[in-house]
Amino acid sequence: MENVNVKINGREYSVPAGSTILDAARVAGVEIPTLCYLKEINEIGACRLCLVEVKGARGLMAACVTPVTEGMEVFTNTEKVQKMRKTNLELVLSTHERKCLSCIRSRDCELQKLCRDYGVEDEEHFKGKVNHMPKDESTAFLVRDNDKCILCRRCVGACKNMQGIGAISALDRGFDTHIGSAFEMPLGATSCVGCGQCVVACPVGALYEKDDTAPIWAALNDPTKHVAICTAPSVRATIGECFGYEPGTDVEGKMVAAIKRLGFDGVYDMNVTADLTIVEEAHEFMERFTKGENLPLITSCSPGWIKYCEHYFPEFTDNLSSCKSPQQMFGAMYKTYYAQKHGLDPADIVFVSAIPCTAKKFEVRRPGQCAAGEGIYDVDYAITTRELARMIEKAGVNFRALPEEAFDQPFATRSGAGEIFGATGGVMEAALRTAANAILGENLEKVELSDVRGTDPIKYATYKLGEHTVNVAVASGTKNAGELLNKIKAGEVKVDFIEIMACPGGCVNGGGQPVQSAAVKATVDLKAKRAAVLYNSDANNEIRCSHDNPAVKKLYENFLGEPGSHKAHEVLHTYYIKRGL
Amino acid sequence: MKKKMTTVTFAGTPEQELKLDAAIEKYGKDEGAIMRILQDAQEIYGYLPIEVQRMISIKTGVPLAEIYGVATFYSQFSLNPKGKVAISVCLGTACYVKGAGPVMEKICELLGVQPGETSADGKFSVDATRCLGACGLAPVITINEDVYGKLQPKDVAAVLAKY
């Protein structure tokens, strides 16, 4: 691409033509402050925090939406600019509920940081009317507190532009403007899928997951309860960010050590039931593939995707794999097999999963998720990576100083296929490794399937396995999922097997993952960095295929029988609902 | 002021829906067309209840929340049907000074609605308006085409009884 010459704060730089002033300033090592800007998701120039002086321009310019031109001279930090930014911050604060001490986003709030940077005190500079709205707590997964909302519309952009859903929008006008759903419906009554991408887009504390840590603390302090936890494949790749590690740091050992210090009776690896899911799902695929029934088979691990399918593509619910997600399989196995083996009453077990996801909080209370008996949920509480980090912090555990420890048996040995579950394409790759074995009678010579890797929105691949040709597709992000399904409906694409994850990039970029600022998101490829942890782990694992995992083999030998057996169906499979819009 | 939602039961006809389809056909289905579709829809139905907005959402693929956002942004759009008896209370300066406020309160009290709302049976709607140009008669209200001037709260019941 062509470059243009610009002067930023008196120094000359050559930057790609078409860059915004915001991007160009980064080349100069200057981070211009923003609040409403979220790269490619919300570029509306509304908050006026990124104002800069441009030589020859009449007024101050919004750096996030102003492209650079040849010879442009920009001043990012003049007295005038600083004064305007401070005033704008004071105006934003004038209707913001300032309860920083108890705010969930205190310390990683973008507004709080800017107020500190610009010396905006906690005084009411602009006194006047403040609108109060009740919190929306109608969903199982998130809370909207509009008293903290600064109307940046990043959540609206994430929901509509990125995810293609649009469950929320800016409503009413002027001083009454607020973010909500159509006809002021509670979010729980809408087609919101619970992906939580609005939560990780929010710069302040107006959106956060519904906190489920209180009942877990209560259970941990109740000697009559057996409290166990498993952590999802991607949590080890991200939770370090909550403790000051660079994105893309594998902290599995320290994470396990930290959780063990919280007092759980068992700390397990969900990768084991990721492998179990693959063995069941590959079996299901082979059955459908050979019979030609209900193809394409579509993966069912992502509860946000499931809810999206039920609302927007109910005609595809029969294509969904009936396999429960790894989280639900874990709870189901724990409260049946493990409970029986150890003489535990499933009613006394509190099973917790730590997940990168907000939609999983919805999944745990879905119907068809009670293998041990009616009213005994497979998983009692699903907590996000952030909630787990808060529990560790609250317990005073010094995460960084901990030694590395290992998961507890019998749910500790995993294959590399289970490990890559947390990245887009990972479930497909894992399933194909096992399906290929079923077709060929032996493992693939090269188990790395690079065609389905990477963060492209939609990926296609064709695999020749013996006499069979298997066509697959992988989509991440519900908008891309919708695009793929529409192509299949129109007959433009014909595939046998589809993996869909609700969040762009997969679970590593889930709505329950550590929140990173807009500046970090614009400059660091979080999806790829976090996914690299999982792929490295897979590459270093001696066991590469789910069906070779001895822990999984044991579950079949001792309890389930064969993949797809009657018992497996009782414990590991579920059903879906045609919700519509 | 936030827009009031209706409690009147929707009674759209297939003919009205055909007209709506024609409007969508005319303006297209992209987001930019929503305002014009809403304008036509309001002409067709008289107002924009959730049933109409949902139809527009399904037919265009534009999310309902976004359509509702547009409908609540522009004051020309109404979520409420006009009543068969449409009452407008002038809250212009002269009427206001002469006691239009208490008149409005009395009307709302007797009909059990708030300004901007329509009674559940769809009969009465009450709106506040700006100056009607009849300041000499302040405070003034209009009911459909009829004008009532120099109204006191105690007169309201008798006036409403005529409808």
Q: How far apart are CA A241 and CA A236, in angstroms?
A: 10
Element (H, E) at A555: helix A550-555
Query: Does B1 have pLDDT greater than 50?
Result: no
Tokens 């969930």, residue? Answer: A104
Tens of pLDDT along A180-189? 999 999 999 9
- Is B66 within 8 Å of A171 when comparing Cβ atoms? no
Buried b (16+ CB within 10 A) or exposed e, B11-39: eeeeebeeebeebbeebeeeeebbbebbb
Judge contact between A232 and A270, C-beta under 8 A: yes
Q: Which of B64, B73, B75 is closest, CB to CB, to A182? A: B64
| Record: contact A172-B3, CB cut-off 8 A | yes
3-state helix, strand, coil in chain B (%, to 5): 50, 10, 40
Are B65 and A169 an interchain contact pair (Cβ–Cβ within 8 Å)?
Answer: yes
The Cα of A358 is separated from the nearest Cα of chain B by a number of Å equal to 21
For the beta carbon of residue B40, count every other beta carbon within 10 angstroms. 18
Inform me whether the C-beta atom of residue A167 falls under 8 Å from chain B C-beta atoms: yes
Yes or no, beta carbons of B72 and A171 under 8 Å apart: yes
pLDDT of residue A467: 92
- Binding-face residues of A in 190-249 toward B, CB within 8 A: 190
Domains observed in chain A: 3-77 (3.10.20.740), 142-209 (3.30.70.20), 214-572 (3.40.50.1780)
* pTM of the complete model beyond 0.95: no
The pLDDT of residue B82: 85
- Residue A140 contacts residue A365 (beta carbons within 8 Å): yes
Paired strand residues for A382: A353
Of A168, A172, A176, the CB nearest to B65: A168
Residue A231's H or E segment, with its range, is strand A226-231
> What's the pLDDT at A124?
72
User: How much is the pLDDT for A121?
Assistant: 79
**Quick one: average pLDDT of A251-255?**
98
β-bridge mates for residue A350, sequence order:
A227
Contact B66 A166 (CB under 8 A): yes
Cα–Cα nearest to A36, from A231, A195, A203, A161? A203
Hey, which residues 98-137 in chain B have their CB within 8 Å of chain A? none
Are the beta carbons of B69 and A170 separated by less than 8 Å?
A: yes
Chain B: residue whose CA lies nearest to A186: B65
Smallest CA–CA distance from B67 into chain A, residue: A182
Q: With an 8 Å Cβ cutoff, are B68 and A169 in contact?
A: yes
Is the pLDDT confidence value at A125 over 90? Answer: no
**Between A and B, how many CB-CB pairs are < 8 A?**
50
Assess contact for A368 and A218: CB atoms under 8 A: no
- Domains, chain B, ordered by start: 14-73 (no CATH), 85-161 (3.40.30.10)
Q: Give the ranges where A118-261 is alpha helix by DSSP (H).
A: 154-157, 197-201, 213-220, 235-238, 252-260
pLDDT tops 60 at residue B135: yes
Q: What is the rounded radius of gyration, in angstroms, for the C-alpha atoms of chain B?
A: 18
Mean model confidence pLDDT for chain A: 96
- Which pLDDT score, from 0 to 100, does residue B76 have? 83
For residue A355 the two structure tokens come to 């997940």
Residue A123: its pLDDT value, please? 67
Distance from CA of A155 to the nearest CA of B (A): 13
From A165, A176, A183, residue closest to B68, measured CB to CB:
A183
Nearest to A166 among B1, B63, B75 (CB): B63
Sign of the Cα pseudo-torsion (A94, A99, A100, A104, in order): negative
- Which tokens sit at A271? 């990768």
A581, B58: Cβ pair inside 8 Å? yes
Residue type at position A249? T
Q: Give A170's contacts in chain B (Cβ within 8 Å).
A: 69, 73
User: Which residue out of A153, A173, A185, A198 would a mutagenesis test of the B interface target, given it has the greatest number of B Cβ atoms within 10 Å?
Assistant: A173
- C-alpha–C-alpha distance, residues B12 and B52, integer Å: 8
Of A167, A172, A173, the CB nearest to B65: A167
Q: What is the ipTM of this complex?
A: 0.91
User: In chain B, which among 52-71 make CB contacts under 8 A with chain A?
Assistant: 53, 57-58, 62-69
The Cα–Cα gap between B94 and B114 comes to 22
Q: Which residues of chain A have a CB within 8 Å of the CB of B73? A: 170, 172-173
A160–B66 CB contact, under 8 Å:
yes
CA atoms within 13 A on the CB side of A239: 32
Nearest residue in B to A156, CA atom? B66
- Asked if the Cβ–Cβ distance from A182 to B3 is below 8 Å, we say no
Contacts of residue B74 in chain A, CB cutoff 8 Å? 173
Å between A299 CA and nearest CA of chain B: 26
- Per the CB < 8 Å rule, is B67 touching A182? yes
Which tens digit of pLDDT belongs to each residue from A309-354? Answer: 999 999 999 999 999 999 999 999 999 999 999 999 999 999 999 9
Whether B3 has a pLDDT exceeding 70, the answer reads no
CA distance B137 to chain A (A): 33
Mean pLDDT over A89-103 rounds to: 93
| pLDDT tens digits, A262-313 | 999 999 999 999 999 999 999 999 999 999 999 999 999 999 999 999 999 9
Tell me the nearest-neighbour CA distance from A581 into chain B, angstroms: 9
